């Protein structure tokens, strides 16, 4: 279950949660990993080298999907918390070793965090497309506005309802800072419509 924290900053309302964490792992190996050994050891894995070069392993706690390659590299998807990456990797490395494969010193790099949220205000996307920088808005193609925030470097999808999706962040702090900045910008630039809630009594909720 995700841990929800609350902070109060600038009396602005921000509510979001992390939906997916993508990370890569590089392990030290003495020879190329024989993925068929892992396939023969565990029933709940998938490996079809004719279709995809990696072996797919899923774990339940923390819930995540691993793509394991012969080179000792892995890709992790499906995590809800960046902090869970270390625990998930330890489990999978243990499984790999139990299959008789020598791997060591896994190095984890968070590549992308995807978060969804709600600014609790309606946004005039036509106005936002005019006054905001680094945006793309083609409503006949896609109903959301694409905003490429430069600092912190992230990409937002903004919808007129106030719903937003953030991608491109590499840490939980960057996600928080990006949402706080976006929340401030849309209000300061005057692209909001009538607020859904009383801003004076708002706080910020984040995962």
Domains and CATH numbers, the chain: 5-18+113-206 (3.30.310.10), 22-111 (3.30.310.10)
- Pairing of the two strands 163-169 and 5-7: unpaired
The CA–CA distances, whole Å, from 140 to 5, 143, 144, 160 equal: 38, 7, 10, 14
3-state secondary structure of 40: helix
pLDDT tens digits, 109-118 = 999 999 999 9
> 175 φ, ψ to 5°?
-60, -50
Q: Report whether 90 contacts 32 (CB < 8 A).
A: no
pLDDT at residue 193, rounded to an integer: 79
**198: exposed, middle or buried (Cβ count in 10 Å: 0-12, 13-18, 19+):** exposed
pLDDT at residue 106, rounded to an integer: 97
pLDDT at residue 14, rounded to an integer: 67
The low-confidence residues of the chain, meaning pLDDT below 50, are 1-11, 195-207
pLDDT at residue 194, rounded to an integer: 58
pLDDT at residue 15, rounded to an integer: 87
């Amino acid at each position: 279950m995700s841990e929800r924290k609350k902070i109060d900053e600038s009396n602005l309302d921000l509510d979001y949660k992390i939906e997916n964490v993508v990370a890569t792992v590089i392990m030290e190996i003495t020879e190329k990993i024989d993925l068929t050994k892992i396939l023969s050891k565990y029933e709940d894995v998938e490996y079809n080298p004719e279709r995809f070069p990696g072996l797919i392993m899923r774990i339940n706690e923390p819930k995540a999907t691993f793509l394991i390659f012969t080179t000792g590299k892995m890709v992790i998807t499906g995590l809800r918390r960046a902090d869970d990456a270390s625990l998930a990797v330890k489990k999978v490395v243990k499984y790999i070793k139990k299959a008789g494969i020598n791997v060591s010193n896994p190095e984890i790099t968070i590549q992308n965090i995807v978060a969804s949220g709600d600014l609790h205000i309606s946004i005039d996307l036509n106005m936002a497309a005019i006054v905001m920088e680094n945006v793309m808005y083609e409503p006949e193609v896609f109903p959301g506005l694409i905003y490429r925030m430069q600092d912190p470097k992230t990409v937002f999808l903004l919808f007129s309802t106030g719903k937003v999706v953030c991608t491109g962040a590499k840490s939980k702090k960057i996600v928080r800072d990006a949402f706080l900045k976006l929340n401030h910008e849309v209000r300061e630039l005057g692209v909001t419509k009538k607020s859904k809630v009383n801003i004076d009594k708002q706080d910020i909720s984040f995962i």
